[in-house]
Amino acid sequence: MQTSASDLKFYASLHQRKARLESGLFLAEGRKLVEEGLKSGCPCPVVFVREGFYGQYEDCDALLSQAPAALLAQKDFDKLCATEHPQGLIAAFAWKGLMADEPRASLLPALYSISDPRNMGTITRSADWFGFTELLLDEGCVDPFNGKAVRSSMGSVFRTRYIIRPDLASALIELKSRYRVVVADLNGRDYREFRGCPPSIFVFSNEARGPSDALLALADDVATIPGAGRAESLSVAIAASVMMAALS
């Protein structure tokens, strides 16, 4: 498969959110992520393989033999890389198949204005580990297909369905006929009391701002993780992971 200079420019542009939105594609960089994406069946128009990569991993070579692979010289491969130590594989995948219009899960984590891509990726990874297949996001959140978010997910991005709404409070109003709304905050009931709860949405918010007044007004309950030390709070990724572990 031949790759032109304009092709390289186009795929390199996928590091920008605007290009991802316009093209419907995102990049996954590194052997594990590319393998996870190919195994998931997510549509993949191209896998870029750095010269010298073939022959190191037999199982990976077998996957690549069934994929639209393009061999690149080191200097061209580096033009696509966002990481300091690239691992020899970068692939483009279609993100539209990883979206959902409406939630189906009985327990649904919801993210409010999560701006750090590493938090987004870690929450995606934890949700996958604990059996949560859907995440509800508002448009104030970082793009879940941001490169850092994808890498932090360690492949879980391919097993997650994202439901994105312009405004989380408005989305919760629409869903309250089907779900209880539980907002995670510093002052609330012990999160362990919610295990075995009826269909519920658990809202996790931006660390700096916390939940908005509108979200708290919609809450049927507030959950907190009691602490025993002197730290001010937990990161949102850790808090979400702890609560999802208890709820799973």
CA distance 15 to 26: 8
Q: Grade residue 102 by pLDDT with cuts at 50, 70 and 90.
A: very high
Quote the pLDDT of residue 2.
81
Dump pLDDT digits (tens) for 15-46: 999 999 999 999 999 999 999 999 999 999 99
Computed over every residue of the chain, the mean pLDDT equals 95
- Considering only CA atoms, which of 227, 223, 175, 174 is closest in space to residue 202? 223
Which has the higher per-residue pLDDT, 186 or 173? 173
Quote the pLDDT of residue 30.
95
Instruction: Flag whether the pTM goes above 0.75.
Output: yes
Q: At residue 233, does pLDDT exceed 90?
A: no
- Considering only CA atoms, which of 65, 62, 70 is closest in space to residue 45? 70
Quote the pLDDT of residue 231.
84
Quote the pLDDT of residue 174.
97
**What's at 87, amino acid-wise?**
Q
Residues 46 and 111 both lie in one domain: no
Can you say whether the dihedral through the CA atoms of 145, 146, 149, 152 is positive or negative? positive
SS3 72: strand
β-strands 46-50, 89-94 pairing: antiparallel
**Alpha helix ranges (H) inside 24-110:** 31-40, 58-65, 74-78
Residues 68 and 148 both lie in one domain: no
Quote the pLDDT of residue 85.
78
Residues 72 and 179 both lie in one domain: no
The CATH number that applies at residue 180 is 3.40.1280.10
Residues 150 and 194 both lie in one domain: yes
Structure-token match 């993210």, residue found: 111
Structure-token match 């919609």, residue found: 218
Domain of 31?
5-97
Give the least confident one: 81-85, 143-147, 152-156, 208-212. Answer: 81-85
Q: At residue 90, does pLDDT exceed 90?
A: yes
197-215: average pLDDT: 94
SS3 159: helix
Domain boundary among 37, 72, 97: 97
Q: Grade residue 92 by pLDDT with cuts at 50, 70 and 90.
A: very high
Quote the pLDDT of residue 60.
96
Tokens linked to 174: 């629409």
Residues 89 and 115 both lie in one domain: no
Number of Cβ atoms within 10 Å of the Cβ of 71: 17
- The contacts of residue 228 (CB under 8 Å, 6+ apart) are none
Which has the higher per-residue pLDDT, 57 or 233? 57
Number of domains in the chain: 2
Residues 112 and 208 both lie in one domain: yes
Tokens linked to 125: 């990874």
Strand partners, 161: 134
Q: At residue 148, does pLDDT exceed 90?
A: yes
Domain boundary among 41, 76, 97: 97
Residues 40 and 67 both lie in one domain: yes
The CATH number that applies at residue 17 is 3.30.1330.30
Residues 112 and 202 both lie in one domain: yes
62-80: average pLDDT: 95
Q: At residue 132, does pLDDT exceed 90?
A: yes
Q: Grade residue 86 by pLDDT with cuts at 50, 70 and 90.
A: confident
Angle in degrees, 0-180, between the axes of helices 236-247 and 117-129, rounded to the nearest 10? 10
Residues 54 and 115 both lie in one domain: no
Share of the chain above pLDDT 70, in %: 100
CA distance 150 to 131: 18
Domain boundary among 97, 129, 152: 97
Residues 79 and 129 both lie in one domain: no
Q: At residue 166, does pLDDT exceed 80?
A: yes
Tokens linked to 54: 């073939």
Residues 91 and 137 both lie in one domain: no
CA distance 230 to 178: 38
| Alpha-carbon distances of 172 from 32, 198, 200, rounded to whole Å | 35, 16, 11
| Alpha-carbon distances of 64 from 19, 55, 90, 91, rounded to whole Å | 26, 11, 12, 11
Strand partners, 89: 49
β-strands 89-94, 25-29 pairing: antiparallel
49-69: average pLDDT: 95
Residues 77 and 149 both lie in one domain: no
